[in-house]
Structures are given as structure tokens and as C-alpha cells.
Structure 1
Amino acid sequence: MLGGLLFALNAWLGDRADDPHTIVVDVVVDRQAQQIFKDARGREPDENELYALRRVWLDNEVLYREGLALGVDKGDPTIRERVIFKALSIVDAGLKLPPIDEAGLREWFEKNRDKYDEPARYDFQEAVLVGDKSEMASRAFAAALNAGAPSDDMQAGLRIFKGRPHQNLVQSYGPEFAKALEEEPAGQWHALPSRDGWRVVRLEAVTSPKPADFASLRGVVRQDWVDATMADLRTATVRALARKYTVKVEEGAK
């Protein structure tokens, strides 16, 4: 995703005349990266995302200059992305996938097991209060629901959620809510804190996690290993090429 965003920035900056062995990351690069990210995501990038954007831009700048040095821009000097892709194809052609035996592949699988294991999943309901959603009101409403006698002035809508994994709960409601929901007994209403305020929920059921079976996923695992290894080799090669350049970050660029 970040790489795609940076191609727009690369095109905008493609005609800047720099010393071919000096790469300058200035405020213009950062501002354009921030604007392109905001246009795509609807928000400003945080510090880590901006660093990643700049890192991708640097990788692309190295590939662009390597492509120019190799003459792959002939006949197509204005299309920066094509130059980068051509340079990258040359890099890819020189990469050699290292051998891996069954034990090595299984070890890689174990290190990345969270990608393949089926996580625990949670079914729950949420009674969405209308009006006062304070902690006191939420706890009172949960108690009334458990007693089967909510008062007439307690109005709420009902939402039903099925098969939500832990990570989804964290992303949607925050880690505090996820931890609290997972620890609550099923079948009872509880007022739980979330990143957006208090929520009244009832855990319905939990589907136990299921560890992945290496043998049945071996083909998928090997392809994932190939993709990840080639990506690492590609990045390492571009970073090695970058050592021939002097990178200057101008004052004002974050």
C-alpha cells in the first residue's frame, strides 16, 4: 500500500535535477508524502508511517537512479514508475532463492504460526443505549437486562456479532474491551469500557482456537516463504545499492 502511494509522489518529483550520487530528502518530499497518504487514507500519517513512506521513496529513488545509469529509460524518460519497475526487474533477475529443506520450512512455519492458526472467535451481542452512555448508566442497564426488567426509559438497539477474533476486537473496540470480553462468563450482560466509551454486551459463545496443520498447508507455506524471502532479498539488494549514494535530510523535513 505504501509503495503504491509513493509512485504518485515519485512521478511528481521525477523531474527534479539532483546530483546523481546525492539523494536529498527535503520538506517537499515529506509534504507530498503526507498529502498523498492523507488523500488515500483520509488522515495524516503518524511518525512510523511517515518513516515508512520516506523509506519506500528512498528505495524507489535508488532504483530510479540505477535504472537511469543502466540506460533503461531510453525512449521513455518521463515515466518514472516505468524506470523504477525496469530497474527492479533487473534486480529481481539477479536474485537467487536460497535452498530450504523440510526442517527449515517447518521452522519458518512455526515462527509465523500466527498467520496460519485459526484464532479463538467470539459471538456476542451489544445493547446500544440511546441517550446517557456513562459508566453508571451502562452498569445499571446491564443489571436491569440480567434481571429481565429494564425500565421503560431505557431504550436500546441490539447488535449481534458472530465469529469475531481477538485482533478484530482490538481494532474495533480497543485492547481493554477485548480482554474484558474474553474474561467474562457467557450468558450475562456486562458494561465494558471501550476506546469509544462504555458498551453493554453479552458474550454468547466462544469457538476455541485451532492450530494449523503444517502438512495440509505445506504448499501454501512454501509459497509464502518464497514471497517473503524474495522480498527480503530485494530490499537488501536495493539498500546495498543505496550505499553508493549520499542521503541528505534537509532541515524542515520531518
Structure 2
Amino acid sequence: MLRKFSREPLIHFLGGALLIFTFFWATGTGRDPADYEISIDETDIDRLTTDWERNFRRAPTQQELDGLIDQEITEEIYYREALRLGLDKNDPVIRRRLFTKMRFIDSKDEENVAPTDTILQQWMDEHPGKYALSPLYDFKQIYLGQISAAQASDWIDQLNNGGNPAANAKSISLPASLERASIAEIERQFGDRFAGQLAKLELGLWSGPVASGFGVHAVRVTAKTLGKKAALDDVRQRVVNDWRADQQAEQKEKALSRYRGQYEITVAGRP
């Protein structure tokens, strides 16, 4: 019976098919042939040549170009084999790199959009406090050093009663006066702590002590020009940058929402 069964053509066919399947499975040749095709076209060669010229400031020789092409083929082979082995899985560096590239691809179209003046003006109108022009100050200052607030107040009283401004001044590499200085300029010179106190000072009198990172100062504000709403041309680049950043953030959220909707996500401890 066994001998008769072994002579059946169907058994021979199934056995041969099994051997062929085992061979292809073991050698990998049963996979998509396109995965094993590597084509280096003119675009690739131009890219390799351009990269070489950027680094070495000259065109590669034919031998050098052949070496670049061989290296490109070698890298592509190892790249594909690494993917087949799953070496891209659970690697935080590769994960972060791919995340960054996907975010770049999603936002690339937004970067090429040029906003019209109407769009920029609408953005400004929606954020009125963000683009107000800084008030401008004319003021004089006397650096009093690292002294107590009580001592500084005494010196300031003397100044307002006709005292000599140079009598108690300490030497420091700061300007004794500024004219039509914006808050940003004052912050650069004296620090934001100093600049933040100027709005409270009375015009025409020596006031203080006004503290900075250097110590305390007596300050006399002689003129102040109030800040005003900026025109678009005054702050155009800031508005463009802020608008573009907002558009990119919105695009990222939309893309993430679109991708996330395709996944079923579970997190331990979350309902």
C-alpha cells in the first residue's frame, strides 16, 4: 500500500512544491524582487558629485567618482539588510530621526506659503499687545554702588535739593545718559530689572533707588514717548515669523490627528 501510495503523481507534485517553497523561504528569493534592485541614476551621480565638490572644492576624478558610487551601493545594500533584520526597531536615535524627518515633510509645504499683507494685518489685529512699539526714554543715571536702600534714598534727596551729582557717584562702565532709548536697548545696557522700573519714575526728578544687576542707581527721566500700536511695515519680519510658526504648529497638529486616527492605542493605566 505504501509503495502504491508513493507512486501517485499528486504526491510527487506536492513534494516538489514543498521543496521549492522551502528553498525560496531559506534563501529569501521568494521576496519581492524589487527589494533587490539597486539603480544609481544620473540624479544620484549628480548628487554625489555635488557633495564631493562642496567638500573638496573640485570635481572628483573618474576613479574617485567610481569609489563614491561603489560606496553608495554598499550603503544601500547594508541599509536594506538592516531593515530586513529589523535593526531600525527599538532604536531611539533612528526613531527620533524619522520623527524629525516626517515632521519636516509635513511642514514643508507650509514653509513655501507667502502670506499676503491682509493675512499679516489680520494676525496683528488678533495679537494687539504683541506688536506695540516700545516707549522711548531720555534719562540720566548715577551709579551709587552696592549700598542700602536707605543710604541711596538719602543721596537722592540731596541730589533733588541741589547736591553735586558727582559727589557720591561710583565708577562703572555704563552710559551716564541715554536719549530716545527703547526698552530693549535699556535692557541690553542695564538689564531687565532696571528697565522695568522706569515707567514708575516721575519726570524731571532724581528717583530711586533703581536696582540693577550692578547695584543701585539714582535715575532722572527727562522725557518719555509713549509706546503705540505698530504699523505692519514697522514689524513685518516679526509678524511673518510668528504667523509662519503658528501655521507650522497647526499643520503638525492636523497631521498628527490624521495619523493618530488610523491607530488603535492603549496605554497601561489609562481607561
Measured against the shorter chain, the TM-score band is 0.3 to 0.5
Q: Which has the larger radius of gyration?
A: 2
- Ranked by relative contact order (alpha carbons within 8 Å, sequence separation 6 or more), the top structure is 1
